[in-house]
Amino acid sequence: MDNRHRFETRAIHVGQAPDPATGATIVPVYQTVTFTQDEVGHHKGYEYSRTGNPTRAALEECLASLEGGRFGFAYGSGMAAIHGAMQLVSAGDHVVVADDLYGGTFRLFSEVLPRFGVHFDYVDATQPEAIDAAVTPETRMLWIETPTNPLLRLVDLSACAEIANRNGAKLVVDNTFATPYLQNPLEFGAHVVVHSTTKYLGGHSDVIGGAVIVDDEELAQTLQFTRNATGGIPGPWDAWLTLRGTKTLALRMREHEANARRVVEFLVGRPEVARVHYPGIPNHPGHELAQRQMRGFGGMLALDLEGGEPAARAFCAATQLFSLGESLGGVESLVGYPWSMSHGAFPAEEKRRKGITEGTVRLSVGIEHPDDLCTDLERALEAAVVTG
């Protein structure tokens, strides 16, 4: 499949040629541990499914194409993919991290990897000069999300890539919120892209997974070796489900964004809402940057409620179409309470410093009818006022 084809075409065809054995149009689920060899050392490209599996390979080729890279690696979860990307650093190395990031990533970086001699410093990555100032001679990696989780801040990819290259470091971008449909960090000089495929790529809240995409062969060799050595792979069924979800990513992202815009229009200016965080709002501090490096603003947003914690808890309890739960990016709408859910791993003072308050609520806007979603939110806001 020619990578010059458009996104929607590549999502359906790259890595997904008809099965050579049967002509099956859809990639089969190769539910096997091992592969029979013709003789010792002679096989058809696969030996053992931890090392390689045809279903997983189809997913990896497709994801790499969508991100504009040559090499894709699927993992058993988003956190496994993050840990996989961190195999690119060693004991004694220093990592500069954007401080507005997913709580699970923070937990790994603050409580697990330091035990192995990796050092982390957290900065406001919306200010490139802060990143530059945090770099040391031992810095080997910059780790950012953009848009960030949960406050949808924007980080300048090109500026971060320039800092990384100037200092001999690798820029890693968690692109889960934007998806490859709306943003391709490799185009802006990033070295590594990470996804929780559990979210928008799978898109149906029915499969856990992660992925790492690179365009550099040396990085790819390291990732392949360490993943095989550590074994954090998805099974073939999980790979197949994720690949099936990816086929409709473009269609879903268009609907997610259209609905998010409607929801934002409904929320902005309401007396119960102190602030809406969404890069599509013209006065959002990252709006112009989002226009430069993204092809849309996505389906995620956050809001701060005037009534603080009581209002936020009442709001989360009152929604019906917005299910209260962890995760994001599925076809169904979700509401989350970052203070104790997605970002519960952060100390309270750190959450407040970053702008996450007891009144912050995160919305993953699904693809239901937008009028129904706004009605649901109106009901929840009324409940929040009564409680507040």
Please identify every residue annotated as catalytic: 50, 102, 174, 199
3-state secondary structure at position 348: helix
3-state secondary structure at position 139: strand
Read off the tokens for 134.
Answer: 């945090």
* Beta carbons of 307 and 359 less than 8 angstroms apart: yes
CA 212, 105, 209 angle in degrees (round to 5)? 45
Residues 6+ apart with CB under 8 A from 15: 1, 27, 57, 58, 59, 60, 61, 62, 65, 243
d(CA 133, CA 112): 25
Which of 304, 300, 252 lies closest to 275 in space, CA to CA? 304
Q: In the 8-state DSSP scheme, what is residue 112?
A: I
Alpha helices in the chain (DSSP H): 7-13, 54-67, 78-85, 103-107, 128-134, 157-166, 179-182, 217-230, 236-247, 249-267, 287-293, 308-318, 348-354, 370-387
3-state secondary structure at position 94: strand
Phi/psi at 74 (nearest 5 deg)? -90, 145
Burial level of 1, CB count in 10 A (0-12/13-18/19+)? middle
